[in-house]
Structure 1
Amino acid sequence: MSNKHAARLPRPVESERIPLKARKVSFSWEDTPLHWVPGEPFATHTMNVLHLLLPAGERWFVHVYKQVLPHIRDERLRADVIGFIGQEAMHSQAHDEVLPHLRELGLDPTPYTAQVDWFSEKLLGDRTLPPGRARKWWLMEAVGRRLPDHAALHLERFTPSTSAEGNGAFEVELSRSARTVSVAADTTVLAAVRAELPDTAYSCEQGFCGTCQQRVLEGEIEHRDELLTDTERGDSMLICVSRARGDRIVLDM
């Protein structure tokens, strides 16, 4: 992790630090009219959208930063993160409290909030990853997506070779699906498998994130990733880059 802009920013002093603490807030909406910006229905509903949009993202903040806490060693930073979690939880609750009032005024926000929740889960939600480096890498990226530009999380990646030179064709048996797919020299296992099982999870396609990790039941693996531990390499592979050493491999798919 590095901050490429750190040298250009003034260093904060202790007196400028404001401890983050969740404020318990509650608002009464009973007497708020439908168009609460007088004479400006468009402006009113533009700002109302924030009540529909923000809670899902704030819940995501809470979820991700709870997972980050065990990795934080700096006590002051840990206290700030705990304060931030409490702050975002309170924000989410405060926005959610507006929704029943909108329903009473004849505006049902459910279709919109359902789409926002779905989108947030697909874009920002947890990846189904085993414990270890793969999950830790995803967690760092999840946090990095919410850092401001001047405090960007810098992750260096060294791309594995994707050249077809020296590759051989082989077959992949998908045990649970009772299917067999052929993998050409210029095709990845992931691409061949997704032609049969299009819902197969994947993300980076470079052997870094671990999303496509699959258990190997039979066959020798030629590992080409930089992620899996030696133990994980014994019975699993990242099908976006790794291949079979022989002419057949069996996956638990």
Structure 2
Amino acid sequence: MTLEISAKEAVAEGVVALTLVHPAGARLPDWTPGSHIEVVLPDRTVRHYSLCGSRWDAYTYRVAVLREPYGRGGSALVHDTLRPGDRVGVGGPRNHFPLVPSETYLFIAGGIGITPLLPMVQQAELLGAEWQLLYGGRTRASMAFLEELTAAYGERVHIAPQDEVGLLDLGSWLGAPRLDTKVYCCGPAPLLTAVEAACAHWPAYTLRTERFTAAEQAAPVRDVPFEVELRRTGRVVTVTPDVSVLDAVRSVGVDVLSSCEQGTCGTCLTPVLEGSPDHRDSILADHERVANTCMFPCVSRSLDDRLVLDL
């Protein structure tokens, strides 16, 4: 669908928020906390941004974009070129970071990682759950939506600007496991790694994370070709070590929608009917990997000689 930028505002140093609406004023697709959309920029590149507005506003989407000086150019285009009245293509919403029921939540955000957590805080508050937000950033001025959060929620929002207090004190927050608490974290890779290490002794499936960049992966389990059967078409394709499953499938004429091709956006999610994937994405939780009911063919491979996909 094509949406129009109705507003653009600076919400922190290096961060702008875009409000998107349907050009004809139509209702937008519903979404749930943790969802993101795919935005097709004027140069045809695609970027993924978490929805950070109110899910109860059926007519607007809000996203926030951090200027990344060493990025691929998408954030610079958003900051320097896009203006209210411009139109962009939008795909989704999609949600690979859903908020599951819990009595208590601990939300941990680093920098622009606050964006998917904003609707989660709103949802937890609406449901009457207990929650705390630990929010770190380089400086107060660089932390988006800071005033909005503190004005609405007061002491439940714990601010930790690095230039004032150093790195987030994860030990004091995550030292003692709590059976009734789910932990949600989004932010830069070092923060996610530190939170994963701090939660290693917590109950299984307590922690959910979302990454903006792909996690480092070890080498694939197999370095020999394997076969992929496409059940719906009856085609069988051989995947060699130098070709992704996605590219191999496309080579026989089966088009699979994809975007990032790094295992972070979730666009190419594909059902697995038989076989065990070598999961190499940065999206699936541990129990989802064990289930082996789906995979992301842009990066994941196979543990077996043959995989059967619902394609």
Using the size of structure 2 for normalisation, the TM-score is 0.38
Select the structure that is richer in helix.
1
Higher RCO structure, 1 or 2 (CA under 8 Å, sep 6+): 1
Using the size of structure 1 for normalisation, the TM-score is 0.46
Select the structure that is richer in strand.
2
